[in-house]
């Protein structure tokens, strides 16, 4: 989703802005631009497509200046072309925006009637003219921004420069994230700490409704009412060194291979391998008194929530409601007081999930978040934060964030089950043992990488691919299908194996590969029957199972991948890896942009 960078500095700023935009690339975008102030006047360069296009443009037509703003745009209003690319400007100010101005039509009409001339199809341009309208009434930039913010509806993060006001940048945030970075005689703003990582690690996150006057010497932060407020400056854990690709051709492959290590890191924070006890420290509520759990998330994180629903219901014996955030937030549900609501998000910034979190908070729920970014909005507003220690995830298709989410949620299930007396100490120790083995079992799965790359040749020409699973294998089927869609653009569906005969079985012929996820668990025989139904109709099955499963049924499948024999509790974590690799290799064979697939954004900060 749109990315913002702003610098009030002491050096030539254009190359620094472009570097910053490259660090924001992972969020997903379709055009990019920068603007600087030179002798009080605006210089601007924008280009459709990748940042390399912008770089070429700037190389041919350089711009100077020691302060500037930059933007990667993920189109919402108006085509992803140069004219709609940010920064947007008129003769009084220039700005970049992340989010959606919901009342832009009304503002446009009002300002057009006053003689403002609009050039783009964007919602953002309304802000340019609104601010400049107030400036033309004799207001200072600070007054003009404060007045404009009162008129804006929707979500936004903004960074604004003003002609004739050398040295001043104003930033504001409502709904969309924005961080201020403190340098040495230089100041920065960015959509996230990653954008600022090599520039500074001293970060201040604006609160909802805040706006800030930023100069090279520091920032004055105002709250929504205009009062000057102190916001803590923290040392972010994110460093520039963490965001390289190493020797891997793509971030996604690197992140798949990091899974044994980051699952281990995450486990270390929650589980003591010596006495085999999970310790979720310092929860501000009592897990034994929770009448009901609600889990809300989007995309891949939702699939992690779905696995957790099975775990919490089966192991901790607590009823769980599960929904995607964009639906949940408008269901107007009356939530049971004292319930626990769990929000799962890699970024901790997904607009729908954050809005759902605020709704649940207002309904008197205990709020727990499972996030990968400790400083994210969701983490800052939660009662309890369970961190995944996946490190920065740059590939748009989520991989290591998902398996570390599962790791955290598995620990939560064990802890809750133990505290509620749903399992005894011996069973808890067994489950903990199974979890502590996951990192090394993951390495055993990664050994199949080459074989999976071969299998991808059979998938790459398919028009449709079906993924089937039961129990916790069902969300993994959904996740496998999502991964394939996201990066190879092949239509894929994940289905509960037992539900297949209610529809998707009509799709089956020799051209539709069917990936069957079937660990030897209590549902194996049922899944096996569904697989036979596919084979009887000429379907080509790729069978993911363990030694026992493959011994029973492997000879019926077109291909098999043998996964380690594990406690079925941890199977969903391990069975994720082959479906990640299959989509990765299929995408590589198809030549798609694996790390930045078309139309997708890493962090979706609009509804």
Please give the positions annotated as active site.
2, 602
Give 299 or 549: the residue with its C-beta nearer to ligand G6P: 299
What are residue 82's DSSP bridge partners?
none
Give 259 or 603: the residue with its C-beta nearer to ligand G6P: 603
Nearest distance, CB of residue 442 and ligand G6P, angstroms: 20
Nearest distance, CB of residue 350 and ligand G6P, angstroms: 3
Q: How far apart, in whole angstroms, are the C-alpha atoms of residue 585 and residue 542? A: 15
Nearest distance, CB of residue 360 and ligand G6P, angstroms: 15
Neighbours of 554 (CB within 10 A): 15
Please identify the residue of the shown chain whose CB is closest to the bound ligand G6P: 299
Strands (E), 423-553: 464-469, 491-496, 513-517, 540-545
Segment contacting ligand G6P by CB under 6 A, of 164-172, 229-237, 525-533, 596-604: 596-604
Pairing, β 218-222 against β 228-229: antiparallel
Reading across the β-sheet that carries 540-545, which strands appear in turn?
491-496, 464-469, 513-517, 540-545, 559-562
Instruction: Tokens for 599, please give them.
Output: 């139309």
The CA-to-CA distance between both ends of the chain, in Å, stands at 11
Binding of residue 27 to ligand G6P (CB under 6 A): no
Residue count at the site for ligand G6P (CB under 6 A)?
17
Nearest distance, CB of residue 567 and ligand G6P, angstroms: 27
Binding of residue 602 to ligand G6P (CB under 6 A): yes
Backbone dihedral region for residue 331 (phi beyond 0: left; psi -120 to 50: alpha; all else: beta): alpha
Binding of residue 98 to ligand G6P (CB under 6 A): no
Kindly list the distances between the CA atom of residue 322 and the CA atoms of 47, 345, 581, in Å, as whole numbers in the listed order: 42, 14, 27
Which listed residue (300, 365, 407, 545) binds ligand G6P by CB under 6 A? 300
Instruction: Tokens for 420, please give them.
Output: 């509620």
Segment contacting ligand G6P by CB under 6 A, of 5-13, 151-159, 292-300, 522-530: 292-300
Binding of residue 350 to ligand G6P (CB under 6 A): yes
Binding of residue 345 to ligand G6P (CB under 6 A): yes
Give 3 or 519: the residue with its C-beta nearer to ligand G6P: 3
459 near 586, Cβ under 8 Å? yes
Give 87 or 299: the residue with its C-beta nearer to ligand G6P: 299
Binding of residue 534 to ligand G6P (CB under 6 A): no
Consecutive H or E run containing 438? helix 438-446
Q: How far apart, in whole angstroms, are the C-alpha atoms of residue 523 and residue 170? A: 58
Give 367 or 500: the residue with its C-beta nearer to ligand G6P: 367
Binding of residue 494 to ligand G6P (CB under 6 A): no
Nearest distance, CB of residue 278 and ligand G6P, angstroms: 23
Give 34 or 384: the residue with its C-beta nearer to ligand G6P: 384
Give 368 or 396: the residue with its C-beta nearer to ligand G6P: 396
Binding of residue 267 to ligand G6P (CB under 6 A): no
Binding of residue 66 to ligand G6P (CB under 6 A): no
Which listed residue (176, 259, 294, 346) binds ligand G6P by CB under 6 A? 346
Give 398 or 527: the residue with its C-beta nearer to ligand G6P: 398
- Show the 3-state SS of 234-275: EECCCCHHHHCCCCCCCHHHHHHHCHHHHHHHHHHHHEECCC
Segment contacting ligand G6P by CB under 6 A, of 114-122, 296-304, 331-339, 579-587: 296-304
462-483 burial: b if 16+ Cβ within 10 Å, else e: bebbbbbbbbbbbbbbbbbbbb
Helical spans, DSSP H, in 92-198: 104-113, 125-136, 141-151, 193-196
Nearest distance, CB of residue 344 and ligand G6P, angstroms: 7
Which listed residue (16, 432, 435, 600) binds ligand G6P by CB under 6 A? 600
Reading across the β-sheet that carries 211-215, which strands appear in turn?
88-89, 93-101, 154-162, 169-174, 211-215, 218-222, 228-229
Which listed residue (353, 357, 399, 605) binds ligand G6P by CB under 6 A? 353
Instruction: Tokens for 594, please give them.
Output: 């694996």
Write out the binding residues for ligand G6P, residues 387-426 only, by CB under 6 A: 396-398
The residues that touch ligand G6P, with contacts defined as CB under 6 A, are 298-301, 345-347, 350, 353, 396-398, 600-604
């Amino acid at each position: 989703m749109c990315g913002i960078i702003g610098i009030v500095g002491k050096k030539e700023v254009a190359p620094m802005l472009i570097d910053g935009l490259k660090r924001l690339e992972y969020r997903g975008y379709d055009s990019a631009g920068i603007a600087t102030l030179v002798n009080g006047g605006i210089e601007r360069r924008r280009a459709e497509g990748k940042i390399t296009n912008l770089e070429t443009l700037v190389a041919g037509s350089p711009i100077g200046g020691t302060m500037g703003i930059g933007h990667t745009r993920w189109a919402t209003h108006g085509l992803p072309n140069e004219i709609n690319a940010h920064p947007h400007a008129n003769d009084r100010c220039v700005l970049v925006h992340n989010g959606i101005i919901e009342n832009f039509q009304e503002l446009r009409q009002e300002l057009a009637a006053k003689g403002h001339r609009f050039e783009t199809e964007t919602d953002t341009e309304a802000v340019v003219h609104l601010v400049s309208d107030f400036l033309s009434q004799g207001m200072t930039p600070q007054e003009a921004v404060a007045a404009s913010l009162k008129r804006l509806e929707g979500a936004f993060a903004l960074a604004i420069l003003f002609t004739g006001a050398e040295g001043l940048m104003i930033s504001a945030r409502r709904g969309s994230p924005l961080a201020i970075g403190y340098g040495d005689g230089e100041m920065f703003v960015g959509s996230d700490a990653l954008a600022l990582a090599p520039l500074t690690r001293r970060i201040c996150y604006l609160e909802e409704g805040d706006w800030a006057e930023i100069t090279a010497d520091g920032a004055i932060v105002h709250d929504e009412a205009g009062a000057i407020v102190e916001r803590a400056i923290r040392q972010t854990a994110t460093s520039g060194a963490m965001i390289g690709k190493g020797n891997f051709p793509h971030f996604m492959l690197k992140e798949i291979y990091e899974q044994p290590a980051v699952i281990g890191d995450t486990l270390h924070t929650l589980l003591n391998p010596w006495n085999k006890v999970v310790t979720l420290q310092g929860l501000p509520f009592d897990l034994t008194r929770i009448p009901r759990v609600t889990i809300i998330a989007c995309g891949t994180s939702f699939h992690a929530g779905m696995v957790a629903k099975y775990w919490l219901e089966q192991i901790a014996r607590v009823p769980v409601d599960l929904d995607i955030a964009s639906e949940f937030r408008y269901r107007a549900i009356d939530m049971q007081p004292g319930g626990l609501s769990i929000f799962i998000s890699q970024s901790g910034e997904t607009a729908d999930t954050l809005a759902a979190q605020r709704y649940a908070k207002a309904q008197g729920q205990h709020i727990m978040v499972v996030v990968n970014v400790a400083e994210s909005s969701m983490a800052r507003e939660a009662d309890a934060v369970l961190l995944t220690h996946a490190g920065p995830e740059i590939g748009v298709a989520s991989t290591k964030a998902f398996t570390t989410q599962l790791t955290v949620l598995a620990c939560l299930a064990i802890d809750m089950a133990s505290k509620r007396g749903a399992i005894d100490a011996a069973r808890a120790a067994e489950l903990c043992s199974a979890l502590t083995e996951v990192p090394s079992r993951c390495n055993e799965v990664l050994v199949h990488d080459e074989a999976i790359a071969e299998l991808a040749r059979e998938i790459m020409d398919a028009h449709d691919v079906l993924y089937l699973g039961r129990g916790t294998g069902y969300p993994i089927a959904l996740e496998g299908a999502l991964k394939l869609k996201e990066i190879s653009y092949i239509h894929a569906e994940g289905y509960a194996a037992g539900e297949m005969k209610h529809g998707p079985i009509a799709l089956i012929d020799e051209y539709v590969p069917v990936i069957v996820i079937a660990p030897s668990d209590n549902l194996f025989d049922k899944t096996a029957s569904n697989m036979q139904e596919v084979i009887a109709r000429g379907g080509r099955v790729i069978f993911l199972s363990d030694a026992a499963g493959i011994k029973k049924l492997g000879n019926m499948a077109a291909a098999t991948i043998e996964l380690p024999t594990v406690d079925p509790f941890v199977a969903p974590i391990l069975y994720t890896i082959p479906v990640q690799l299959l989509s990765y290799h299929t995408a590589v064979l198809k030549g798609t942009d694996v790390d930045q697939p078309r139309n997708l954004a890493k962090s979706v900060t609009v509804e």
